[in-house]
């Protein structure tokens, strides 16, 4: 168990919220039939689930990795008006540039969880570090991308393993 002071917990919470907010995007996705949540989603040829969330994630990662022009075109095309009203395209592009500098390109490593409206994937950055992302889409057609979040694992020195 990691013990953190109240200010440290607040700082951690602020950082995690900022990261999640920085990745929030929305867009149009090709609809597919709802799957049984008890069954894993069938995988497409490239490893992404054959679900609305899988299609959204695939599209976002491809644009991220191609560069700023591709990401701008993708976001311009797929962002829902309500999402764009909450956070404008230029603000999203600023966040994209920061993350592109940090990660370089992103490539699918593994799918951790999959449902028709949400997929959690581990992506490899250009330096081969692993980063977990969560992509959420609206449950109804046209399955617009609601958010892209990143789950961060934070190591606290001296608390990295099991101790007796």
Task: Name every residue whose Cβ is closer than 8 Å to that of residue 87 and which is 6 or more positions away in sequence.
Answer: 21, 24
Write the CA distances from 124 to 46, 127, 139, integer angstroms. Answer: 15, 8, 27
Q: Cα–Cα distance between 20 and 36 in angstroms, integer?
A: 28
Residue 37's pLDDT is 45
**pLDDT tens per residue, the chain (164 residues)?**
444 444 544 444 433 333 443 443 333 333 333 344 445 555 666 899 999 999 989 999 999 999 999 999 888 877 777 777 888 889 989 999 999 999 999 999 999 999 999 999 999 999 999 999 999 888 888 888 888 889 987 766 665 555 44
Report the domain count for the chain. Answer: 1
**Residue 161 within any structural domain of the chain:** no
Residue 22's pLDDT is 42
Q: What is the domain range of residue 137?
A: 23-31+44-151
CATH label of the domain that carries residue 52? 3.10.450
Rounded to 5 degrees, φ, ψ at 138 are -65, 145
96-144, pLDDT tens digit by residue?
999 999 999 999 999 999 999 999 999 999 999 999 999 988 888 888 8
**Residue 13 within any structural domain of the chain:** no
**Residue 62 within any structural domain of the chain:** yes
**Residue 1 within any structural domain of the chain:** no
**Residue 16 within any structural domain of the chain:** no
Answer whether 80's CB lies under 8 Å from 27's CB. yes
Q: Cα–Cα distance between 122 and 47 in angstroms, integer?
A: 12
**Residue 135 within any structural domain of the chain:** yes
Q: Is 111 helix (H, G, I), strand (E, B) or coil?
A: strand
**Residue 162 within any structural domain of the chain:** no
Answer whether 125's CB lies under 8 Å from 106's CB. yes
**Residue 12 within any structural domain of the chain:** no
């Amino acid at each position: 168990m990691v013990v953190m002071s109240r200010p440290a917990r607040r700082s951690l919470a602020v950082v995690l919220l900022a990261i999640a907010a920085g990745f929030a995007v929305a867009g149009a996705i090709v609809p597919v039939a709802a799957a049984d949540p008890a069954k894993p989603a069938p995988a497409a040829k490239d490893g992404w689930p054959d679900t609305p969330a899988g299609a959204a994630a695939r599209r976002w990662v491809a644009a991220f990795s191609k560069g700023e022009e591709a990401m701008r075109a993708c976001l311009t095309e797929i962002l829902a008006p309500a999402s764009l009203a909450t956070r404008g395209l230029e603000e999203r592009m600023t966040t994209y540039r920061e993350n592109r500098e940090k990660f370089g390109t992103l490539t699918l490593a593994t799918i951790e969880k999959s449902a028709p409206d949400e997929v959690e994937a581990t992506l490899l950055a250009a330096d081969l570090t692993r980063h977990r992302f969560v992509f959420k889409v609206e449950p109804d057609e046209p399955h617009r991308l609601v958010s892209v979040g990143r789950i961060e694992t934070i190591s606290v020195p001296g608390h990295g393993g099991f101790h007796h």
